[in-house]
Structure 1
Amino acid sequence: MAFGVCCRDLFTYATLLVSFVVGSNAIDVFLEWNVALEDSDNIRPVIVINGMFPGPLINVTTNDVVHVNVFNNMDEPLLFTWHGIQQRLNSWQDGVSGTNCPILPGTNWTYVFQVKDQIGSFFYYPSINFQKAAGGFGPIRVNNRDVIAVPFPKPEAEFDLLIGDWSYDDYKRTRSMLGTHQMTNVGISNVILMNGKGPYGHPLSKASESFTVTRGKTYRFRISNVGNALSFNFKIQNHLMVLVETEGSYTNQITLDSLDVHIGQSYSVLVTMNQDEADYYIIAAAKLIPLVFGQSFAGVGILHYSNSDARVTGPLPIGPHPYDLEFSVNQAKSVRWNLTTGAARPNPQGSFNIQNVTLSQTFILQGSMEEIQGLPRYTVNNVSYYTVDTPLKLADNFGNGGSGVYQLDAFPLDSVNDKAAYGISVVTGTHRGWAEFVFKNNMDVIDSWHLDGYGFFVVGFGKGDWTPDLRKTSYNLFDPVVRSTVQVYPRGWTAVYAFLDNPGMWNLRSQLLKHWYLGQELYIRVHDDDPDPAKERPPPDNLLLCGIFDHSKAPANSPVPFPAP
């Protein structure tokens, strides 16, 4: 299986049809995916899409409508989520357990979503059953419309680079041991893959990733951390990078020797090929992993100049020490929003100033690992999310306030339960209000938080405890970058602002897969009965039913208000 591309003018591995939408510049993009678990070069079977690992590129332009018909050829239920795609007014297509019934084995279902007013680098992956540990991920590019200027010259070419830690353990075996006292020694990271390929020179790598370039040309690398447990530092030997974009936002263009990328994050960098004709290492060195004989635990690829006839040799170039978190924090603070350029729209990204917004809510969310009923779980404010068979979105829409599936606002927003417990965590987000989220990390790993449905303003990082006074001394309210995934350093805090103008049921979660699977998540219910100015779209015509709304399992004379089939 090879890394593959499917874009607006290619038909490899997928059916792609286009038709103009009346009254707009958008087009409909139709994709057909066959998803299966197949043998691979990566020690164990992987989840492939149309035979590809990683899966095909979704290459679209802002405002396009994407139709993805997913055929589930696996032996268990499946869902895909579209990481960073905001699903305006349409959480029905979010593809997580709280919004969608799964696609059952041997069946298919079509997602329909619009990449509304977005540009940038994103990716997709399976969201349930710990399946992301087995692959199934792929890149998403959302391009500017031609009438919107891009704030840098057009590169010679663009490369998608999906990088992530990988375990040789079968994901089903790992899944069966999670939440038990045996989980410490399962699912550990054995290698870091680049586009599904092992490190250059690794004894078990049958192939490694390589990019062929021309001297004097500039290329755009879209880098995503699709891993499960590890942040990494990205570096190209002897080449500097210019940071230009992250998760839908153009950034101030800063020149970097290396770049920290945390789980779930995506960046675009420009690299000019200004070195001698030769081959050079591309390195993704894991954070918080000890050096062995002076070498990092790393994914390794090759940058190959087209006229080079010399293979790269020697030790990997040295980047920041894997335990140098001060470097990482300072770099994170330097990633700022470009206030002078447009993005999905022609008006400048910074035309909306957040310096004087009035906060309507503050969510203080503490991530930690605790024991519940004698077994390890991950929690938010000492509550470990308990996944139920009925998606919360179904219960919310058809069940008159939840149908007993969940209790709204039972979750502790700004305090920590005395004793860790399970809960179906759903909280109210004030529609069209400004929310402040403060993520606190009580663990010794770099955590990573993602909010579906929104981009948020990353306003601050800090060590130790968070207090309201830090808003005056430690926040950047002038040009904070907008993104959907943010890191939280060990024993530290990160603060973000979000304008909750997108009605729906939205998942807020740790992107560390073990944390997410074992309960470090909750849902934000953003709702307004007034249809003006915005109301979420009605359920799609192909809506799947399950849980208490599964007609095939409904008892006679059921009191549950089932929707019409």
Structure 2
Amino acid sequence: MASLSSLQKSIILVLTILVAGANAADIFLTWNVSLDTTLNPITVQQPVITINGRFPGPTINATTNDFVHVNVFNDLDESLLFTWNGIQQRLNSWQDGVSGTNCPIQPGQNWRYKFQTKDQIGSFFYFPSINFQKAGGGFGAIRVNNREVIAVPFPKPEDEFDLLIGDWYYDSYQMIRSVMDTEVVAYQTIPDIMLMNGKVPFGHELTKNHESFTVTSGKTYRFRISNVGTVLSFNFRIQNHKLVLVETEGSYTNQITLDSLDVHVGQSYSVLVTMNQVESDYYIVASPKLINASANSSSLVGVGVLHYSNSMTKLSGPLPSGPDPFDLDFSIDQAKSIRWNLTTGAARPNPQGTFNVNNVTISQTFILESSTSQIRGDPRYSINNVSYRVPDTPLKLADHFDNGSGVYQLDWFPTNSANDEAAYGVSVVTGEHKGWIELVFDNTLGGFMDTWHLDGFGFHVVGIGKGKWGAEARSSYNLIDPVVRSTVQVYPGGWTAVYAFLDNPGMWNLRSQNLKNWYLGQEMYIRVHNDDPNPAKERPPPPNLLLCGKYGNGGDGSQDPVGAPARAPSPWWT
């Protein structure tokens, strides 16, 4: 055999390194999900959803392409699902964990999720997706780290901190859920307090259990910040310290230095903070947007502590001021300043800029208007005047066995205008496989912020504006370096436009991330399908597939063989 040349040896060495770096690990987790009535984060007795006794739940710490196995034991007294907010579930919407794709895990039962962090990096979080349970806890952080062969566009920080911040109710989530189901005041229900990693604000009268981070002078730390709340956006800041924005939901951004950062419901960011101040203690603040909250007294201002390791000085004095919470121009300008870093790789070695949108052909446009309505006396949220009604049988199950027959009808939903009258419906539309879709979100919810999320895909955020969107707005789109993220905000009385490349076959949930909006009907599904039976197009059902509704034994979630319907399917339109 002829000897290899030095060039061939070099190529083999490089390929060996790349293959070794691409090897995926299997991460096995066992979760026991239960209600804890003794945890009491605000000292008032209330049930909190814990995972393995923890609130928030354990961090999922993975690397690009890892397989994550989560065996969930449901010790609640009601059904349960988990969704992995921002993890794209490549070719595998069976693991998405929302009502349209999975049968729920029944009380006393367990089910094992298996998903891959395929071609992803970044900061995300998980949470329970049904029964308004997110308002009772059950959420936790997800980190997806770079493979060693992919350079990170900033020096390795001294440490990383997960910071899950969100609004919280004093009443139990079951109580709030009952209000949502029956009373018009559901529209105006505002949470009572802001928690940081499940802990109340520093100095709050209900407890002394606040969040604190110990740091070393001169070092730089990465804070992974997620808004895990139900309705309120917040402005995040650290007293006397600058924030260097580096990543949002799986995309590296152009690094910009900020005094404060707006974070909307469902969003995640990474910021770098250098400890370059006098060794002391400093306030960490998350103050709500569009709420008249006093900076020094309101429970809705989340407060934590940044503690320098050699500090002997305790916190005192007023909280650092932030932008006017009603100043939408500030927030919009900041949002537009967040751009994609085109020169760096992320999950793959090629730069993010190789996936630009400046010359794509749009094959579909959906114009989606969020609004409130009353249907048969019930308070509801809707998209184009259609409020989603969850059928007994998951859409994905019906799609697999019967092409959706009896559960939903495809493409009746109005994708470019609102119906004249509000009504219930099972809204499922076709997304053109490997086509580019333009999604335009109009917010007509009065003075409330809205946020939108599409499972399975990233949004290229091409435009944000005031007033109602019109075709002329396309001339203002940023098609050079729009940031790619999984959740995008829509300002009151304004619009947001995104592009998405529908290269991921499956049944994908498009929803408001504001929990009450979602719970009361502001969601729909995009069916991205390819008739090619090649398994590379979409994975088959998992071997542990749960059956329910039309295909189960009375809809109890058991794994019965497919047979005659156990009960009548829900209508697709009522």
Compute the TM-score of the two structures, normalised by the length of structure 1.
Answer: 0.93
Q: Does 1:34 align with 2:36?
A: no
| Separation in 1, partners of 2:473, 2:562 | 57
Say which of 205, 208, 211 aligns to 1:209: 211
Q: 1:317 to 1:557 in 2, by over 3 A?
A: closer
| Separation in 1, partners of 2:458, 2:506 | 15
- Which residue is equivalent to 1:326? 329
- Which residue is equivalent to 2:357? 354
**Alpha-carbon shift at residue 374 of structure 1 (Å):** 2.2
Q: Does 1:456 align with 2:456?
A: no
Code of the aligned partner of 2:355 = F
Q: Quick check: 2:293–2:301 contact (8 Å CA) kept in 1? A: no
| Separation in 2, partners of 1:175, 1:553 | 22
Say which of 369, 373, 376 aligns to 2:372: 369
**Alpha-carbon shift at residue 323 of structure 1 (Å):** 0.5
What SS class does the counterpart of residue 220 from structure 1 fall into?
Answer: strand
What SS class does the counterpart of residue 469 from structure 1 fall into?
Answer: helix
What SS class does the counterpart of residue 182 from structure 2 fall into?
Answer: coil
What SS class does the counterpart of residue 471 from structure 2 fall into?
Answer: coil
- Which residue is equivalent to 1:14? none
Unpaired runs of 5+ residues, structure 2, are: 1-18, 568-574
What SS class does the counterpart of residue 262 from structure 2 fall into?
Answer: strand
**Alpha-carbon shift at residue 180 of structure 1 (Å):** 2.4
Say which of 270, 275, 278 aligns to 2:277: 275
- Which residue is equivalent to 1:379? 382
Q: 1:404 to 1:352 in 2, by over 3 A?
A: same
Code of the aligned partner of 2:138 = G
State how 1:97-496 maps to structure 2 within 5 Å: 97-181=99-183, 183-184=185-186, 188-292=190-294, 297-399=300-402, 401-443=403-445, 444-472=447-475, 474-496=476-498
- Which residue is equivalent to 1:4? none
**Alpha-carbon shift at residue 179 of structure 1 (Å):** 3.5
**Alpha-carbon shift at residue 371 of structure 1 (Å):** 1.1
Q: Quick check: 2:74–2:108 contact (8 Å CA) kept in 1? A: yes
Code of the aligned partner of 2:435 = G
| Separation in 2, partners of 1:26, 1:553 | 36
Unpaired runs of 5+ residues, structure 1, are: 1-20
Measured on the aligned residues, the alpha-carbon RMSD in Å equals 2.0
| Separation in 2, partners of 1:464, 1:490 | 9
Deviations 1:337-375 (A, max 9, x none): 000000000000011221111100001000011111122
| Separation in 1, partners of 2:144, 2:314 | 35
| Separation in 2, partners of 1:187, 1:175 | 11
| Separation in 1, partners of 2:133, 2:57 | 14
Code of the aligned partner of 1:454 = F
- Which residue is equivalent to 1:58? 60
What SS class does the counterpart of residue 181 from structure 2 fall into?
Answer: coil
Q: 1:171 to 1:557 in 2, by over 3 A?
A: closer
| Separation in 2, partners of 1:214, 1:136 | 32
| Separation in 2, partners of 1:206, 1:36 | 25
**Alpha-carbon shift at residue 376 of structure 1 (Å):** 1.5
**Alpha-carbon shift at residue 45 of structure 1 (Å):** 1.5
**Alpha-carbon shift at residue 185 of structure 1 (Å):** 8.9
Q: Percent identity?
A: 71
**Alpha-carbon shift at residue 532 of structure 1 (Å):** 5.7
| Separation in 2, partners of 1:557, 1:139 | 37
What SS class does the counterpart of residue 176 from structure 1 fall into?
Answer: helix
What SS class does the counterpart of residue 179 from structure 1 fall into?
Answer: helix
Deviations 1:257-296 (A, max 9, x none): 0000000000000000000010000000000111437766
What SS class does the counterpart of residue 162 from structure 1 fall into?
Answer: strand
**Alpha-carbon shift at residue 559 of structure 1 (Å):** 4.9
| Separation in 2, partners of 1:466, 1:185 | 24
State how 1:543-562 maps to structure 2 within 5 Å: 543-551=545-553, 559-560=564-565
Q: Quick check: 1:398–1:561 contact (8 Å CA) kept in 2? A: no
What SS class does the counterpart of residue 538 from structure 1 fall into?
Answer: coil
Q: 1:424 to 1:184 in 2, by over 3 A?
A: closer
| Separation in 2, partners of 1:181, 1:111 | 36
Compute the TM-score of the two structures, normalised by the length of structure 2.
Answer: 0.91
What SS class does the counterpart of residue 178 from structure 1 fall into?
Answer: helix
Deviations 1:43-89 (A, max 9, x none): 21210000000000000100000000000011000000000000000
Code of the aligned partner of 1:64 = D
